[in-house]
Amino acid sequence: MALKIGVVGTGNMGQYHIQRLATSISNAQVVALSDVDVEQAKRVAEAAGEARVYSDGHQLIGDDEVEAVIVASPGFTHEEYTLACIAAGKPVLCEKPLAPTTDACLRVLDAEAGRSDRLVQVGFMRRYDDGYRAMKASLDAGHVGSPLLMHCAHRNPAPPPGFTSDMMLTDSVVHEIDVSRWLLGQEIIAATVFTPRRSSLAAEPLQDPQLVLLETDGGVLIDVESFVSCQYGYDIRCELVGESGTVALPDQVGVRLRQEGRSSTEVPADWRSRFAPAYHAELQEWVDGVLRGEITGPSAWDGYATTAVAERCVEALETGRRAVVDLAERPELYD
């Protein structure tokens, strides 16, 4: 009894999920694909085995055989597809962001919050990373005492074409926003963005690096370095400082090479190699949860709160001032 899945959007992320569903996820079958680029969707369908192809995502969501949907089209399309899934009563794993604006996220919350069960999960896969999970287990077990500070770094060797200073916040730092809310179990209430000297290696006019300071409702301060032209590799760091100790992500797994008087480990080239096991766990746990009738991953509320903080980060970057996050009241469904 495999879960029959339809995937909207067959670009980078869609293909990444489809390939995994077709090869290594248990109890899942991709039965339908949709993309505005139908020829691309047809090529992906052939590679993935038998799957129907639609040019319109709404037709895929309305396909009676499709039991659950993955939305991997661009962020501006997420609201309409997620709302259509809720209206059809179908579970949906929506890639981040839930939607690019808080108003759009609130419309999704409004549509889901009246239900007795959740349908929406947002693709914040860091919560499925072994390192972050071990950090959370350690913090929750009281190993480091009450949290005070978090230090994070999000470094990419080079930005993709068209990447902007705002996207360093809305596409990159958004992962630290989600994972720090989850680790701490606290909401972020304010953001300030500092801009040091631009790297001479950053593409014009990118303000790179940036330093983001986030404040939580529990009094914790979180600093996040966002540096997308760091040259040397994809490097994600996180250390949590508590009253009686600290807990941090481990150094990269893999062999340690000792050679010619040096000892070294590899730095991952990109987010795919760094977080591949987390993407796998995210998908497998979502499939298992949907089959059990229980969705436990990042919720529409998490998607909303994260977009709300990212929006204020962009405001703080533009104004150079501290921006206050004003969250709506959290519906009971998300308690």
Ligand X SMILES: NC(=O)c1ccc[n+]([C@@H]2O[C@H](COP(=O)([O-])OP(=O)(O)OC[C@H]3O[C@@H](n4cnc5c(N)ncnc54)[C@H](O)[C@@H]3O)[C@@H](O)[C@H]2O)c1
Using rule CB under 6 A, residue 129 touches ligand X: no
30 near 5, Cβ under 8 Å?
Answer: yes
Name the DSSP class of 245: -
CA–CA separation, 134 vs 208, rounded Å?
31
Contacts from 98-102 at CB under 8 Å and sequence distance 24+?
98/122, 98/300, 98/303, 98/304, 98/306, 98/307, 99/75, 99/303, 99/307, 100/75, 100/76, 100/170, 100/307, 101/307, 101/311, 102/304, 102/307, 102/308, 102/311
Backbone angles phi, psi at 263, to 5 degrees: -120, 125
Q: Rounded to the nearest whole angstrom, what is the least distance from the CB of residue 297 to ligand X in the complex? A: 12
Q: Examine residue 36 and tell whether it contacts ligand X (CB under 6 A).
A: yes
**Starting from the edge strand earliest in sequence, which strands make up the sheet with 120-122, in order?**
52-54, 28-34, 3-8, 68-71, 92-94, 120-122
CA pair distance 249, 275, nearest whole angstrom: 13
Toward ligand X, which CB reaches closer, 74 or 142?
74
Helix pair angle (300-319, 174-184), 10° resolution: 120
Nearer Cβ to ligand X, position 82 or 229? 82
Residue 96 engages ligand X in binding (rule: CB under 6 A): yes
Query: Of 18, 21, 28, 57, which one interacts with ligand X (CB under 6 A)?
Result: 57
Q: With binding defined as CB under 6 A, does residue 35 bind ligand X? A: yes
Q: Residue 261, by phi and psi: left (phi above 0), alpha (psi -120 to 50) or beta?
A: left
Determine, following the binding rule CB under 6 A, whether residue 95 of this chain makes contact with ligand X. Answer: yes
10 lines the binding site for ligand X (CB under 6 A): yes
* 98 belongs to the binding site for ligand X (CB under 6 A): no
Nearer to ligand X, 80 or 215 (CB): 80
| Positions in 253-282 near ligand X (CB under 6 A) | 271
State which of residues 26, 46, 65, 74 lies at the interface with ligand X (CB under 6 A): 74
| 75 binds ligand X, rule: CB under 6 A | yes
- By CB under 6 A, name the one of 6, 9, 131, 159 that touches ligand X: 9
C-alpha 307/C-alpha 177 separation (Å) is: 9
- Pairing type for strands 323-324 and 188-194 reads antiparallel
**Is 122:99 a contact under the CB 8 Å cutoff?**
no
When asked if residue 17 is in the footprint of ligand X (CB under 6 A), the reply is no
176 binds ligand X (CB under 6 A): no
Does residue 69 touch ligand X according to CB under 6 A?
no
Prior bond of 157 cis (ω within 30°): no
Residue 96 or 181 having the CB closest to ligand X: 96
Residue of the chain from 73, 216, 284, 307 that contacts ligand X (CB under 6 A): 73
Q: Is residue 123 near ligand X by the rule CB under 6 A?
A: yes
Shortest distance, position 132 Cβ to ligand X, whole Å: 13
Q: Which is nearer to ligand X, 10 or 210 (CB)?
A: 10
For ligand X, the closer of residues 242 and 297 by Cβ is: 297
Nearer to ligand X, 117 or 270 (CB): 270
Binding site for ligand X (CB under 6 A): 8-14, 34-37, 40, 57, 72-75, 77, 95-96, 123, 125, 271
